């Protein structure tokens, strides 16, 4: 049966939040529980917003508001990634009616693969550095008018579009057993971006340079083929297909690259 508030006027949402006051304050690591009024179409972000309005735990203790990161609230920016009930996902699309239809406790934790900033906020800088490492952009000379871009068939555009939906949310690397502090693995998202930009007519001009960045340590050979990434990707990007394609291209480059020099 769903929880009710003390006055019996309606349903309550029960949150259990893992908190820590700062990256250098491990002694402040703790769990805190909150109950907030249920709202129609409520998601985890809106539940946290209710906590922010009145940050009082279930045992009546006034505490500092829970800190998290979010922006678009429509699964586009990728900022609100959290571990919710043991599964990494976007908090904005985690609907209370789906994850706790009968008033179950909703457990919320920060991602574990990145340095903690505070409470539910982590520093995803490693992901952006890995994007630089694999040259996830298209080089153009912006000093003069280049004219229209290269023409592409609708089929090519349709193939590349799903790959472009990556929002650097971190879900894939949180679920990846090969992505951790002891490895330099760039992760599924970065390998997908290598495939994406190598498929672009202009991006293909630097295809070999991108492949060479993922042929060494931390590259595609570090993938353990767990396929967890494709299970948790909120944008349903075919990450396993991208990793396989980049692996094939890297192998060809390794075996026959000398012919191209």
Residue, of 140 and 201, whose pLDDT is higher: 201
* Range from 17-26, 147-156, 196-205 carrying the lowest mean pLDDT: 147-156
* 3-class state of residue 18 by DSSP: strand
Domains and their CATH numbers in the chain: 12-122 (3.10.20.30), 125-140+149-260 (1.10.1060.10)
102 pLDDT more than 60: yes
Residue 168, pLDDT > 90, answer yes
CA distance 75 to 159: 22
Per-residue pLDDT, averaged over 113-140, amounts to: 95
Q: In the predicted model, is pLDDT for residue 42 greater than 60?
A: yes
- CA distance linking residue 124 with residue 243, whole number of Å: 21
pLDDT-derived band of residue 227, with 50, 70 and 90 as boundaries? very high
- What's residue 74's pLDDT? 92
* Average pLDDT for the chain: 93
Beta strand ranges found along 28-185 (DSSP E): 30-37, 81-84, 87-90, 106-109, 116-118, 121-122
Confidence of residue 259 (pLDDT cuts 50, 70, 90): low
Whether the CB-CB separation of 43 and 92 falls below 8 Å is answered with: yes
Higher local confidence (pLDDT), 166 or 258: 166
> What's the confidence (pLDDT) of residue 6?
41
Q: Mean per-residue pLDDT for 98-121?
A: 97
Residue 9 has pLDDT above 70, yes or no: no
Size (the chain), residues:
261
245 sits in which H/E element: helix 239-260
Q: What is the mean pLDDT of residues 15-36?
A: 97
**What pLDDT does residue 143 have?**
72
């Amino acid at each position: 049966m769903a929880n009710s508030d003390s006055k019996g006027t309606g349903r309550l949402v029960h949150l259990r939040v893992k908190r820590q006051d700062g990256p250098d304050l491990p002694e402040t690591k703790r769990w805190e529980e909150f109950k907030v009024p249920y709202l129609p179409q409520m998601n985890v972000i809106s539940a946290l917003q209710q906590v922010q309005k009145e940050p009082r735990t279930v045992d009546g203790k006034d505490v500092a508001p829970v800190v998290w990161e979010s922006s678009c609230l429509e699964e586009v920016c990728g900022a609100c990634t959290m571990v919710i009930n043991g599964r990494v996902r976007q908090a904005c699309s985690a609907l209370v009616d789906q994850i706790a239809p009968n008033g179950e406790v909703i457990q919320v934790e920060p991602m574990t693969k990145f340095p903690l900033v505070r409470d539910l906020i982590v520093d995803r800088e490693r992901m952006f550095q890995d994007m630089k490492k694999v040259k996830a952009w298209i080089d153009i000379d912006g000093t003069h008018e280049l004219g229209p871009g290269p023409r592409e068939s609708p089929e090519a555009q349709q193939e590349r579009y799903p790959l472009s939906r990556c929002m650097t949310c971190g879900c894939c690397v949180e679920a990846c057993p090969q992505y951790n502090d002891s490895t330099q693995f760039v992760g599924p998202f970065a390998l997908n971006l290598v495939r994406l930009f190598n498929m672009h007519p202009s991006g293909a001009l630097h295809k070999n340079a991108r492949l060479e960045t993922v042929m060494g340590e931390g590259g595609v050979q570090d993938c353990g083929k767990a396929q967890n990434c494709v299970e948790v990707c909120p944008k349903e990007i075919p990450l396993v297909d991208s990793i396989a394609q980049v692996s094939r291209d890297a192998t060809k480059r390794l075996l026959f690259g000398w012919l191209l020099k």
